[in-house]
Structure 1
Amino acid sequence: MSKDLREILKNKVEENLNLSNNHRINFEARLKNELHQEQKNGFGFWKIAASITILIGLAVSIYFFNTNPVEPKLAKTFDSLGSVSPELKKVENFYLASIQSEILELEQTAENKELLDGYLEKISELDNDYKDLTSDLNTDGINEKIINALIDNLQLRLKLLYQLKEQLNNLKTVNKLKNETNNI
């Protein structure tokens, strides 16, 4: 149980403690001696710490310079932009789905066949460029420049399809106007 410190001190009988006549002088001398010892030993810690740091640095440098070169691990191969990261997979899937959707919406007629073939040929070339960029990704490793080029390729293909769709709509409008003027 806890006791009240005040009560303990009240009940304590005061003893007459006499200090020696030289007590203060002895105390000051001892204090100066301890402070003097601390000043001498103060750099000892830093000397030990510096020695340990140098030894560790030497050990690490010897280890790295004397070890055999690390044999390359089998590199992960990338078959598309989506295999680099989940975020890039989402980007790639978005563009590929949009491209596929736009291609499926195209109607081929006798009037637009030549225009359609020209655009689809250009998109096919861009698809081959995409495959080349993917092989560059495998040889050069993950590189921001290559990843940006892959995304730009997908964006360009989609942009071409939007342009094609717009030109097909314009062609359809022109043909409709011609038919109306011929019927009048």
Structure 2
Amino acid sequence: MPKDIRKMLENYSEKPSELSTNHNKRFEERLFKELHSEEKKKRPVIQWLSIAASIVLLVTLGVKFIDFGGEIETEDPVEKKLTLGSISPDLNTIESYYINSINLELSELEVTDENKELLNDYLEKIGELTKEYKSLTEELNTKGVNDQTIDALISNLRLRLQLLQRLKKQLNDFKKLNLKQNEIQQV
């Protein structure tokens, strides 16, 4: 059964406690021993070492990951060239899409003796467009970023992809035509 604490404390009387006359003296002696013991002397050294190690670690991490706004000189400075993809994330996505698509189309081409001439003509045109793309990139680096150069770079990539798709379609048509001719000759 719960008991009411107020009733329990009604008859409570506090016993006065007195400190011994030597209490202050004993306390001072203990305090002096604690402060001047050998273990306590070694402990601050370890604490200072751990603090110093933490500071060195933080400074090292800070130098590693924080850019102070200035470029660090290296022995062999590399000139940063501006490309379509380095202008903005959206343009990087566009450039990556076209370049990956162009590379995919190129990898899917089948070279045979029959289609070699057609393939060479298209690849020559694509090579010219690639040279033009490089010169447009140089123009981007010399004249700076402008809408006309960006549009020309994107159009160049689009045109190369369209040429490769047209080439692929013509090669498929050529292949079907050859198959039909072979079937007719066999009959």
Normalising by the smaller structure, the TM-score range is: 0.5 to 0.7
Residue equivalent to 1:162: 165
State which of 81, 84, 88 in structure 1 corresponds to 2:91. 88
Distance (whole Å) between structure 1 residues aligned to residue 132 and residue 146 of structure 2: 17
State which of 147, 151, 175 in structure 1 corresponds to 2:150. 147
Q: Which amino acid aligns with 2:123?
A: L
CA RMSD of the aligned region, Å? 1.2
State which of 170, 183, 186 in structure 2 corresponds to 1:183. 186
1:78 is displaced (CA, Å) by 3.4
Over residues 16-55 of structure 1, what are the superposed CA-to-partner deviations in whole Å (9 max), with x where a residue is unaligned?
xxxxxxxxxxxxxxxxxxxxxxxxxxxxxxxxxxxxxxxx
Residue equivalent to 2:110: 107
Residue equivalent to 1:12: none
Distance (whole Å) between structure 2 residues aligned to residue 77 and residue 174 of structure 1: 50
The runs of at least 4 aligned residues of structure 1 exceeding 6 Å deviation read none
Distance (whole Å) between structure 2 residues aligned to residue 169 and residue 133 of structure 1: 33
Distance (whole Å) between structure 2 residues aligned to residue 159 and residue 115 of structure 1: 16
Q: Which amino acid aligns with 2:185?
A: N
Over residues 45-93 of structure 1, what are the superposed CA-to-partner deviations in whole Å (9 max), with x where a residue is unaligned?
xxxxxxxxxxxxxxxxxxxxxxxxxxxxxxx853421111111111000
- Gapped regions of structure 1 (runs ≥ 5): 1-75
Q: Is the 8 A contact 1:130 1:153 kept in 2?
A: yes
User: Are 1:118 and 2:121 counterparts?
Assistant: yes
Q: Is the 8 A contact 1:78 1:84 kept in 2?
A: no
Q: How many equivalent pairs are there? A: 109
TM-score normalised according to structure 2 size: 0.57
Cα 1:119–1:79 shift into 2, 3 Å: farther
Over residues 95-141 of structure 1, what are the superposed CA-to-partner deviations in whole Å (9 max), with x where a residue is unaligned?
00000000000000010000011111111110100000001111111
1:170 alignment partner, SS class:
helix
Q: Which amino acid aligns with 1:167?
A: Q
How much identity, in percent, do the aligned residues show?
A: 52
